[in-house]
Structure 1
Amino acid sequence: MNVTIIGTGNVAQVLGRVITEAGHQISQVVGRNTEQAQTLSERLQAPGSGNISQLKPGADMYIIAVTDFALEQIEEWMPFIEGGIAVHTAGSVSMAVLKNIARNYGVLYPLQSLQSRRNEAPVIPVLVDGNSETTVQIIQKFASTFSKLVSFADDEQRTKIHLAAVILNNFNNYLAVLTQDYCNKEKIDFHLLQPLLSETVNRLAYHTAEQMQTGPARRNDTETMTKHIAVLKNYPALQHLYIEFSNSITRFYHVVTPP
């Protein structure tokens, strides 16, 4: 397929790379930042532009990898696409934002945290949708060339999955942010915790999270929890989360719900 990429952020960069590696041709890269558009276009060996009015016709697929806010305002800046299929890459934005942008449109949502700094792209599950059965089939076939995990998900399903991804990925990462800060200030080598973190994630491939829960709150070890809370007196954000998580875990495993 001939593919035009609109956007120059992490999603645009990583998708551009995997799409090219899958044998597709990048027809054009367009972004608001001329320098970034040129850099990405050179990397993908395609023409680049910092002006959306210079969007060229003739591509089979137009991948719109921009912010949710930009998508909500898309009719104000995006010219109408006569041919091809326009898809956006957002998790919680309706497919309908593209209805006045193209005759054929849909969603190509990469269910992954993408970082252009990585030399190799991670495994990328892809959720797709389209405004017709034919469009869905074309997007699915296209996505299948660079991902082995392609699923259909409408707006409601995709939003729910995106929410789950935010909780599992973004919230966990923020816990790591606070933990790294704590370790740095307490002269603890954070790398000592990385094998534990890897084990925690890896075993979820074989067991349910409920089965694998461990720790003081799981045991209802109030003495240890009280000690930990005292140690965190100079770390109010982490202390607050420790208390909230501990209370929630204790309720989940030890409070019997009346029949």
Structure 2
Amino acid sequence: MNIVILGSGNVAAVLGRKLRDAGHEILQVYGRNASAASELAYEWNTESTNYTSLISRAGDVYLVAVSDAAIAPLAADLRLNGKVVVHTAAAVPMEVLKEVTDNYGVFYPLQSMRKQQEKLPELSIYTEASNEPTQKVLDQLAASVTGKPAHAANLDKRARLHVAAVFASNFTNYLFDLAASFCSTEGIDFQELLPLIRNTVDRLEHELPSRMQTGPAIRGDMDTIGRHRELLKAYPEHLAVYNFLTEALMKH
């Protein structure tokens, strides 16, 4: 398919690369940041613009990959009658695009993305569309990128998925950051923890998280917990999180 990408940030960059790898053509990149849009266009050997009036009308699918707050203002400037126009946000109704075209929807990738990533991440893509023909286009596009069937998800389901993702990714990465800062101060190489982290994630393929929990809190090992708390006295943020999670695990 011929794709026009509206946006030049992390999601636009990663989705654009995944779409190209799947054999689709990026016809154009639009971005308010002309420099960022130009960089992506150069990478994909295509053109860019920072004017909505110059957005190509030759695309099959228009992918609005901008921040949640920027979707409505951008949509107000777009008129792409007959084209398939979708946004990539979890928490924004697809109807924000209803004045742009009759063929609108959502193409939501459940993944944390950074344009600097050398290795493109595996994606799960959730779709919703205003009509059946558009739904078929989005499902076909999603399957071409992921190699598996697309998942249907309305606004309510996407919101719930987003909450789950915050627990599974954002909060865990915060804990990684706490571990990394503790390691740095204590002269420990954080990389030494990576085998532990990888093993924990790998086991999730076949085991329930509730059956995997180990550690002093689960065992009720107050001696070890006391020693940990003593070590963390110089780290008030770490200690507060340690105490909260320890108590939560002991009650779980």
TM-score, reference length from structure 2: 0.95
Gaps (5+ residues) in structure 2?
none
1:92-119, Cα deviation, whole Å (9 max, x unpaired): 2221211222221001111111222223
Equivalent residues in 2 for 1:131-210, closer than 5 Å? 131-149=130-148, 150-210=150-210
Equivalent residues in 2 for 1:1-259, closer than 5 Å? 1-76=1-76, 78-149=77-148, 150-252=150-252
Structure 2 CA distance for aligned equivalents of residues 75 and 138 of structure 1: 20
Percent of counterpart pairs with the same letter?
37
1:136-155, Cα deviation, whole Å (9 max, x unpaired): 11110111111124211111
Structure 2 CA distance for aligned equivalents of residues 217 and 174 of structure 1: 20
The change in CA–CA distance for 1:88 and 1:75 in structure 2 (over 3 A counts) is: closer
TM-score, reference length from structure 1: 0.93
Bigger shift: 40-49 or 118-127?
118-127
Structure 2 CA distance for aligned equivalents of residues 52 and 225 of structure 1: 58
The 3-state SS of whatever aligns with 1:146 is helix
The 3-state SS of whatever aligns with 1:233 is coil
The change in CA–CA distance for 1:237 and 1:46 in structure 2 (over 3 A counts) is: same
Report the CA distance between 1:72 and its aligned residue: 4.2
Structure 2 CA distance for aligned equivalents of residues 97 and 185 of structure 1: 48
Gaps (5+ residues) in structure 1?
253-259
The 3-state SS of whatever aligns with 2:204 is helix
Number of corresponding residues: 251
Report the CA distance between 1:176 and its aligned residue: 0.9
Structure 2 CA distance for aligned equivalents of residues 72 and 248 of structure 1: 40
Specify the alignment match of 1:257 in structure 2: none
The 3-state SS of whatever aligns with 1:81 is coil
Cα RMSD, aligned residues only: 1.3
| Paired AA for residue 208 in structure 1 | L
Structure 2 CA distance for aligned equivalents of residues 8 and 177 of structure 1: 27
The 3-state SS of whatever aligns with 1:102 is coil
The change in CA–CA distance for 1:196 and 1:177 in structure 2 (over 3 A counts) is: same
Structure 1 CA distance for aligned equivalents of residues 212 and 21 of structure 2: 38
Report the CA distance between 1:172 and its aligned residue: 0.5
Structure 1 CA distance for aligned equivalents of residues 251 and 96 of structure 2: 42
Structure 1 CA distance for aligned equivalents of residues 167 and 132 of structure 2: 31
